[in-house]
Amino acid sequence: AQLRYADVISGDEGVDLWTDRSVGDRDSINGSGSFLIRRGRLVFSGDLGQYFSYYIQPDFASAAGTTDNVLQLRDAYFDVALDRAKVHRFRLGQSKVPFGFENLQSSQNRIPLDRADALNSGVRDERDLGVFYYYTPSTVQALFKEIAGAGLKHSGNYGMFGLGVYNGQGSNRRDANDSYHTVARFTYPMKLDSGQFLEFGVQGYRGRFVPNRGSFRNSATGGAVTVANPADDLRLLQGFRDERVALSAVMYPQPFGLQAEWTWGRTPGLDASTRLLDEEDLDGGYVQAMMKVDAGRYGTIFPFLRWQTFDGFNKAELNAPRNRVDDWELGVEWQINKQVELTAVYHLMDRNNLVTGNRAGRVDYTRFNSDVLRVQVQASF
């Protein structure tokens, strides 16, 4: 479970960070300086005979209509191993889509509070419903385990090679068209003679995505408007092209580490001024530097610095609005013990709002520039 608190220190008003509803001020949708339960997850898992296993994870920090903290599914999958060593595995159900190192990292293993927008906008809540195949040779399994066992913030075993087909509208959404998304990922971990672990990955997906549409305000004087594509634009029913490739590189923190990912692609996106949805280009990524400092009985401390940029669109939000980011984060995660973490981040945001329904009189999807202090307590159980 994660409890968050955020306070806007300075900068523009009307801040709404789409990934964290605790960020806001008196002109935002959410109040300023408010507490938020960001995540709260229970895991039910087990083996069903020698070749089968299941994993179910509801989250109690979901919203349904105006009501918060409803329990909703994150993961619900079923693994079928083809051999006892689990070199070949199929995963059926709702699970993480293998696109991006950081997307696959659990929130316990990620150091920053939220994933960077560029790769995270590829898959809504990182998950979808489908069938996935993972190939992990025994030597790679051993390396994955060694990295994770050393407390180096690994992403977990999603195969050295992964391949999948999935509905494509994102976690907990029904399929909307008559085509799948397909995804492939290859990641290669290695251990240098010095003992330093490195990991490099490449991944991509493609499919057709149908954005949700609704009203928004694109001028201070006019009223709410809607998407202006003609009703016979078949892409509104069958989906817009949605495809990306991405590169990942990780030098694990022993004690100094570096992590970077970058993505390029095409996505459904809205031009707010013409009110037209079209297929648009996107690119962006992040570079993160971090340290692992062992503090003995006081636990482990991870100072980090991250720069992220994105020039794209967020297909999973209403109307697939423009998503421009140029952020710096300076922070520290303190692992007090195996189960309790405290993270504090000074976040310099230069981005635009992705949600509609701002306070009366404010234009939607506008840019803001703010400094925000964010604090999180995370308990894992």
Measured between alpha carbons, how far is 78 from 47 in angstroms, rounded to an integer?
10
Q: Which of 256, 329, 259, 339 is nearest to 293 (CA)?
A: 256
Query: Is 260 a binder of a copy of itself (CB under 8 A)?
Result: no
Q: Which of 101, 180, 197, 304 binds a copy of itself (CB under 8 A)?
A: 180
Q: Residue 75 CB, nearest distance to a copy of itself (Å)?
A: 10
Q: Which of 44, 48, 47, 66 is nearest to 57 (CA)?
A: 44
Query: Is 249 a binder of a copy of itself (CB under 8 A)?
Result: no
Q: By the 8 A CB rule, do 200 and 160 touch?
A: no
| 66-94 core/surface letters (b: 16 or more CB in 10 A; e: else) | eeeeeeebbbbbebebeeeebbebebebb
Q: Which of 10, 83, 84, 174 binds a copy of itself (CB under 8 A)?
A: 174
Measured between alpha carbons, how far is 302 from 333 in angstroms, rounded to an integer?
5
The helix/strand/coil state of 66 is coil
User: CB under 8 A: which stretch of 107-115, 135-143, 177-185, 216-224 binds a copy of itself?
Assistant: 177-185
Which 304-363 residues touch a copy of itself, going by CB under 8 A?
A: 336-340, 359-360
Q: Residue 62 CB, nearest distance to a copy of itself (Å)?
A: 7
Measured between alpha carbons, how far is 344 from 150 in angstroms, rounded to an integer?
23
Show the 3-state SS of 338-374: CCEEEEEEEEEEEEECCCCCCCCCCCCCCEEEEEEEE
Query: Is 226 a binder of a copy of itself (CB under 8 A)?
Result: no
Q: Which of 290, 305, 303, 313 is nearest to 347 (CA)?
A: 305
Contact string (CB under 8 A) for a copy of itself, positions 266-305, x = contact: ----------------------------------------
Q: Which of 85, 237, 293, 295 binds a copy of itself (CB under 8 A)?
A: 237
Query: Is 368 a binder of a copy of itself (CB under 8 A)?
Result: no
The helix/strand/coil state of 169 is coil
Q: Which of 17, 18, 38, 94 binds a copy of itself (CB under 8 A)?
A: 94
Query: Is 67 a binder of a copy of itself (CB under 8 A)?
Result: yes
Contact string (CB under 8 A) for a copy of itself, positions 123-142, x = contact: ------xxx-----------
Query: Is 145 a binder of a copy of itself (CB under 8 A)?
Result: no
Q: Residue 282 CB, nearest distance to a copy of itself (Å)?
A: 24
Q: Residue 28 CB, nearest distance to a copy of itself (Å)?
A: 9
Measured between alpha carbons, how far is 255 from 245 in angstroms, rounded to an integer?
30
Q: Which residues contact 51 (CB under 8 A, 6 or more apart)?
A: 80, 81, 82, 84
User: CB under 8 A: which stretch of 154-162, 164-172, 349-357, 362-370 binds a copy of itself?
Assistant: 164-172
Structure tokens at 363: 């234009």
Q: Which residues contact 13 (CB under 8 A, 6 or more apart)?
A: 25, 26, 27, 28, 368
| 320-358 core/surface letters (b: 16 or more CB in 10 A; e: else) | bbbbbbebebebbbbbeeeeebebebebbbbbbbbbbeb
Q: Which of 62, 155, 187, 370 binds a copy of itself (CB under 8 A)?
A: 62
Q: Which is nearer to a copy of itself, 68 or 294 (CB)?
A: 68
Query: Is 37 a binder of a copy of itself (CB under 8 A)?
Result: yes
Binding site for a copy of itself (CB under 8 A): 1, 3, 21, 25-26, 30-37, 40, 42, 44, 46, 48-49, 52, 54, 56, 58, 60-62, 64-65, 67-73, 76, 78, 92-94, 129-131, 166-167, 171-180, 231, 237-238, 336-340, 359-360, 377, 379-381
